[in-house]
Structure 1
Amino acid sequence: MHPPTPPSLPGAALRPLPSLDRIGAVSRALAAFIAEAALRPGDQLPTERELMERLAVGRSTVREVIRQFQARGLVETRKGSGTYLLRALSPDAVHVSLTIDAGALRDRLLQTLEIRRGLEVAASEAAARRATPADLATLEDKLVAMERVHLDKGTAGPEDLEFHLAIYDATHNPLFRQLLEQIRETFEHFFDKPFDRPDFARRSFALHRELFDAIRAGDTEAARMKTLGILAIVEEDIKAMSPQ
C-alpha cells in the first residue's frame, strides 16, 4: 500500500526563510503549517525534501527540527513511509530550541554550564533513587566503554556523553530528556574537544566511576557531590583554557 500523499492545501504555505535562527524559524513555520492545514493526529507531514525546497534550508536543519519535534512527542517518523503528526498543536504550543547569543565559546560553555549544573545534579539524585537493575547495567556498560576509550586515547568525548545521557534515562522522568533537547547543541560542545584541547576536563575522569557507584548505592547526596565535583573541574578548565 502506498503511503498517503502529503497535504498541499489552499491557504497553508511553506515559504523560504531568512538565514538567522534557522532552526527556530523552521520550527515555527512547520507548526504554523500544521495549524493552517488543520492536520490531525495520524496525518502525514511534508517530506524532508519538500521542507528543504519550500523553506530554502538545508537537510541538517530540517532533520534537527524533526528530531526536536519527535523528542517532544509531537511527531513520529516511520521508516520508508514518512513523518506523521502524533497530536494536535498550535504554533504557540511549540517551544522552539533555546539559543545562546554569546559569540565566544567560553561564554557559551559557561552559560550552558549553569543550566547543566542544575539539570545534572537533579538527574543524578533522581537516578540514585529510581535506577533499576537494567538502568545500572546500561550505565555500567557506558562507563566501561568510556574508561576503555579514555585509557586508550586519553579522551572519550562521545562515550562520556553517552554515560551522562544514560543517567538522564535512569531518572525515568522524560522531562529531563526533553529539556536537554532544548540545549543539546550547546551541551554537546562540552564533549567535542572544547578549545581544540583533547585533555579538556580530564581530571574529572575518575569521578565518573565514583558517580556511578553512588547511583548504584542509592546515595543521593554522594551522587549530588560527585556531579558537582565533575562540573567544578569543567568550569575550572573552561576558565583556564580561555581566560578573560
Structure 2
Amino acid sequence: MPENANQTSSEIDTERTDGPRDVPRALIALIEEEGLKVGDRLPPELDLVRRLGFGRSTIRETLKTWESMGVVSRNKGAGTRLIAEISQNTLRVALTIKHEAESLLRMQQVRGPLEIEAVRIATRQATPEQRKLINARAAELMAVFEAGEDWRPADHRFHNAIHEATGNPLFRQFIEQIQKAFHDIYETPFGKAHLGQETIPLHRPLADAIIAGDEDKAAELTQTIIDMVCVETQKISEEHDG
C-alpha cells in the first residue's frame, strides 16, 4: 500500500510552517529537478502535496496564480502544464508586481469612499481658518511638485488638513490605518516612489472647490484622483503580464 494511501483530507491540507510564500520556490525547485520544459505536465496535486509538504489548498492557490500569470495551463483532463519558462527571478518579479497591484487596488476600494465622504463633509463644515489651511497646504504641495522635489509629505499634510476639517478624527485614523497596512509591506509600490504623480495637479482645483463650498465638484475631483491611481496601477500590472 502506498505510504500516503490512508491520509485524511485534513492531513493532506496541513501546511508547512514556512508558509505559502515558499510554495512558488518549492515548485520551481521541483520543476528544475525534474527538468520540466514548456509543454511538460506537472505532477498531480496530491503528488505535489506529498513531495513538497505543503497543504493542497495552498498549492492549488499558487497554481491558480500561475495560471492567471500565464505560467501554466490547467485542465481537469490534461492536468497542469507549463506554458512559459519560469525561474526564481522571473517569478519573484511577476508575483511582486501582481500582489502589489492587487493590494493597492483593494486598499483604494476601501479608502475611496472614506476620502470622498471626508471631502464632502469638509466642504460643508470647514471653518474659515480650516479653509485657509487647506489653501496653504495646496499651495505648498504645488510648489514642491513644480520644483521636482518629493511631494509625498506635502500631499500627506494636504489630505490631513481636509480630514481635520471634517471635525471627525476617525476619518484620519481609519485612512492612515488603511495606508499603513499597505505601506508596511510595500514602501514603494512597483518600485515607484511617486505612484500617482499625475494626479497632483488636480489637488489645486480640489482645494479651490472645497474653499468655495462646491461639494459636488470636490467629490468629483476626489473620485477622479482615486480612479487615476487605480488605472495607473492596473496598467503597470497588465504591461508586466504582457
What is the CA distance between 1:154 and its match in structure 2? 5.8
Unaligned runs of 5+ in 1: 1-19, 21-102
SS for the counterpart of 1:207 is: helix
**Deviation digits for residues 108-147 of structure 1 (CA, Å, limit 9, x no counterpart):** 1101000111100000100100111111121122112211
Match of 2:233 in 1: 238
Bigger radius of gyration, 1 or 2?
2
| 1:164 equivalenced with 2:167 (yes/no) | no
Match of 1:137 in 2: 132
| 1:183 equivalenced with 2:178 (yes/no) | yes
Structure 1 residues 115 and 203: alpha-carbon distance in aligned structure 2, compared to 1, 3 A threshold? same
Query: Separation in 1 of the partners of 2:102 and 2:143?
Result: 31
SS for the counterpart of 1:138 is: helix
Amino acid at match of 1:185: K
Q: TM-score when scaled to structure 1? A: 0.53
Query: Separation in 1 of the partners of 2:166 and 2:126?
Result: 7
How many pairs are equivalent? 143
1:206-225 mapped onto 2 (5 Å cutoff): 206-225=201-220
Match of 1:110 in 2: 105
Structure 1 residues 235 and 132: alpha-carbon distance in aligned structure 2, compared to 1, 3 A threshold? same
1:1-244 mapped onto 2 (5 Å cutoff): 104-153=99-148, 155-186=150-181, 193-243=188-238, 244=241
Percent identity over the alignment? 33
What is the CA distance between 1:192 and its match in structure 2? 5.6
What is the CA distance between 1:174 and its match in structure 2? 2.0
Structure 1 residues 152 and 181: alpha-carbon distance in aligned structure 2, compared to 1, 3 A threshold? closer
Structure 1 residues 188 and 219: alpha-carbon distance in aligned structure 2, compared to 1, 3 A threshold? farther
Query: Separation in 2 of the partners of 1:208 and 1:126?
Result: 17
Query: Separation in 2 of the partners of 1:124 and 1:194?
Result: 25
Structure 1 residues 155 and 233: alpha-carbon distance in aligned structure 2, compared to 1, 3 A threshold? farther
Query: Separation in 1 of the partners of 2:211 and 2:180?
Result: 29
SS for the counterpart of 1:153 is: coil
What is the CA distance between 1:206 and its match in structure 2? 1.6
Structure 1 residues 202 and 154: alpha-carbon distance in aligned structure 2, compared to 1, 3 A threshold? farther
Query: Separation in 2 of the partners of 1:126 and 1:219?
Result: 11
Contact 1:154/1:199 (<8 A) preserved: no
Contact 2:123/2:211 (<8 A) preserved: yes
Q: TM-score when scaled to structure 2? A: 0.53
Structure 1 residues 146 and 192: alpha-carbon distance in aligned structure 2, compared to 1, 3 A threshold? farther
Query: Separation in 1 of the partners of 2:163 and 2:183?
Result: 15
What is the CA distance between 1:180 and its match in structure 2? 2.4
Contact 2:101/2:233 (<8 A) preserved: yes
Query: Separation in 2 of the partners of 1:122 and 1:185?
Result: 20
Moved >3 Å (runs of 4+): 186-189
